[in-house]
Amino acid sequence: MSIESSSCSWQEGLYDGEVYVSGEQPEIMGLIKLNSNENPFPPAPEVLQAIVEFDARALRFYPKGDGSPLRKTLADIYGFNDSNIFIGNGSDDVLALAFKACFGKNKPILFPDISYSFYPIWAKFFGIDFETVPLDESFRIVPEDYAKENGGVVIANPNAPTSIGEGREFIEEILKNNEDSVVIIDEAYAAFGGFSAGELVHEYDNLLVVRSFSKSRSLAGLRLGYAIGSDLLIKTLISVKDSFNSYPVDSITIAAGMAAIESEDYFRMSIAKIREVREKTAEQLKGLGFKVLPSSTNFIFITHERVEAKVLFNYLRMKNILVRYFDKPRIDNYLRITIGTSDEMETLLEETANFFQS
């Protein structure tokens, strides 16, 4: 057998499935980076203090497998037991494990046709049948569309990339229509103005709420997320993790996460600033003729009837301003713009105005 034919044989077994495409992370001097929904402010000072004061000698020991004492800190702050909290390496890690843990029925799971683009990739990776449910003409999720037989429901609230958030009545309608399925509510952006379904975990045993430290707590570089759910859901998540991914959250990240979650004043201050800049930016873009969807997140989703989104995207990139363009059906004439600092958003607005003048 030739080397060439042997090579072809083993290559057939390599993974060649669909992969998630994240926002660009270029290293360009002077770049205004508004494409990945990162927080424009640094973590709380207490986080830096926790990292600086961390005893490096402790790194020779493995971290706590269940994420404690952060698990206990979160439980105490939000009014749960430790058994209601799961800690993971970012909310993506938590969500991926939840797909494997919660969607074992031979029925398709449901999620919106326009939402976090990792959902269909996880479903395909784990061999889970799925059905995408179209948003309405206003890019809203219609709860009645999820009142049918399924193997589970996944809703990002607020939704991404549309930025639209729904309230308690919406979430409860989804839950009441799906008592025989696990309902996952992905709350990566809820801190910026959306309703948080965490309190509903006390009432609905089939509800799993997933949150992130990346956006609202400015810890994207540490990879930290968690889930809140019933004892049984959390126990199942832990079982799947211990069977599939034995690597727990590291000790430094646990210390930083505890400091971040306890820095409530700083958290509220940074959220308030982002919301203020978001509303100001939205109004100024409307003045330039843009349609801006109502946002409950740290980004806005915009379109203009006289401007091709991709053309504006390329123009801004040429001006060292990076936003997010999605070459996908229904949203290929929209741009998603992360809310940066006041100065960054002023530059964005100036260059956008210059685009129209040119």
Q: For the whole model, what pTM was predicted?
A: 0.94
What does the H/E/C string look like for 204-245?
Answer: CCCEEEEEECCCCCCCCCCCCEEEEECHHHHHHHHHHHHHHC
- Quote the pLDDT of residue 126: 94
* pLDDT number for residue 179: 96
Token pair 């939704």: residue? 159
- Amino acid 1: pLDDT: 43
At residue 176, the pLDDT reads: 97
User: Which residues of the chain fall below pLDDT 70?
Assistant: 1-7
**What pLDDT sits at residue 7?**
58
Alpha-carbon distances of 276 from 149, 159, 295, 351, rounded to whole Å:
42, 20, 12, 21
Q: What residues have CB less than 8 Å from 25, skipping those under 6 apart? A: 36
Domains of the chain: 21-43+265-357 (3.90.1150.10), 45-262 (3.40.640.10)
